[in-house]
Amino acid sequence: MYAIAVHGGAGVKERKELSPELEERYLQGLRQAINAGYSILESRGRALDAVEAAVASLENNDLFNAGKGSVFTADETHEMEASIMNGSNLDAGAVCGIRNVRNPVRLARTVLEKSIHLFLAGRGAEKFARENNLPFEPDDYFYSAERYQQLRVSKILKPQGTGTVGAVAIDFSGNLAAATSTGGLTNKNYGRVGDSPLIGAGTYANNSTCAVSCTGDGEYFIRAVAAYDISALLEYSGLSLREACEKVILEKLPAIGGEGGAIAVDIEGNIEMIFNSNGMYRGYRKENGAPVVSIY
């Protein structure tokens, strides 16, 4: 059994703001990401390659808050972060505070494979990207009028946004993997880092349990060590994947004020997509099945 699930963030537009045309664009973006990863699994490729491909697809779509669609910081720049984890050996790569890198998830994968370190930040991560010939883009590649308007509104209110993208997968060999990428909060200050690049908070994969990618209020997911907690509930409490996801997302996070969701796949190929927000861009595809996508 091989399968993949993706999310495009829990920060979804209200139904009244989402025209049928825009809704279909979001759903098509999810389908494209799912199929990018599924095609790898279908050809007996690795889960790690599948989640990287799926997340890169979402990073290339300016509808989602990652890569090209990343939101603006308070300084009107884009600071991105990403992580990826291999469930077969618990190896991982992560980056944060990076600018102008086209696909942060590919940089995270390069850190996993080519760096003696697990987590690189800022200029150091960018230097590492250049040394490994990863593509960079100019500032205007990441600009969109809608994102800039969101920044103007946020300056009046407060930093906002729970948009993130992520993927989890199980391959034909039973290996699990997870990846997460984001542009963070609109109007974020002071080099803020969320849960997305933090192994155990926003991303986790372990062949003994499950693979998880989270989206939502990063500070709360960090406090809850949410992604690892889901895995730990399978490992130590014997809960099912659904029970573990519901325990963390519907009970533990709301108890401390956290909003968002998670996608997860376990070693049997079960998929869960649980959220406590008004919606979550999400979808999945299992072996010999068609993509299933939804928002609310």
Catalytic residue IDs: 164
Tell which residue, 104, 227, 168, has the closest CA to residue 95.
104
Instruction: Return d(Cα 60, Cα 137) in angstroms, integer.
Output: 12
Q: How many CA atoms lie within 13 A of 203 on its CB side?
A: 39
Task: Indicate the pairing of strand 203-205 with strand 281-286.
Answer: unpaired
Q: The sheet that has 281-286: what strands, in order across it?
A: 119-121, 91-98, 80-86, 176-182, 165-170, 3-9, 281-286, 292-294
Q: Are 147 and 118 in contact (CB under 8 A)?
A: no
Instruction: Return d(Cα 61, Cα 32) in angstroms, integer.
Output: 10
Instruction: Return d(Cα 259, Cα 174) in angstroms, integer.
Output: 31
Q: Are 274 and 258 in contact (CB under 8 A)?
A: no
Tell which residue, 97, 94, 126, has the closest CA to residue 108.
94
Tell which residue, 182, 185, 179, 178, has the closest CA to residue 164.
182
Q: Are 106 and 80 in contact (CB under 8 A)?
A: no
What kind and span of H or E run contains 104? helix 104-114
Q: Are 245 and 230 in contact (CB under 8 A)?
A: yes
